[in-house]
Amino acid sequence: MRKGKMKNSIVTIAMAMMLSVTAVVGFGTNAKAKNASDKWYSFNNLNVDQDCAWQVKEDTSKVYVHPVSGPAIYYTVQGLSAGTTYKASDKHVIPTGSKASITNHVFEWRIDTKNNPSARLHMERKIERSVDTSGYWSPDSIGTYTIYG
């Protein structure tokens, strides 16, 4: 093999290796919302309504909800900013077993713009039953799910 041809082959192989490393690194990284850790919730359907614990909402993403057991219930996202609680979404029924993203305005409607607001799920029963509705939720959604609102 001639020197020039060999040199071109080495350069081509080196570039191909660099591109493959770049592709692996690129595929391994994904965009993440700031507070997307799932929290467990459980709602007793003998109660009329109930709230989850507050979690800090750090961006304008949708709220993630994934009910895994029990009858379907109503979900509303509420916000908390500067000591004031406010309704930040419409009320939605999310079927058990589905993964959902609820459009909300917790971050946009915050009163104190220097600090992040908090979000929670307000839950209401559809029917009175002696069984819990349980699942996962997070204030900042990272996936693409069925959108409510």
Give tens-digit pLDDT for 61-108: 999 999 999 999 999 999 999 999 999 999 999 999 999 999 999 999
For the entire predicted model, the pTM comes to: 0.75
The Cα 66–Cα 75 span in angstroms is 11
E-assigned strands of 8-131? 39-44, 49-51, 55-56, 63-69, 74-81, 84-87, 92-93, 100-102, 118-124
The Cα 62–Cα 147 span in angstroms is 8
Residue indicated by tokens 């996962």: 136
Tens digits of residue pLDDT in 6-47: 556 655 555 555 444 333 333 332 344 577 889 999 999 999
The Cα 89–Cα 61 span in angstroms is 13
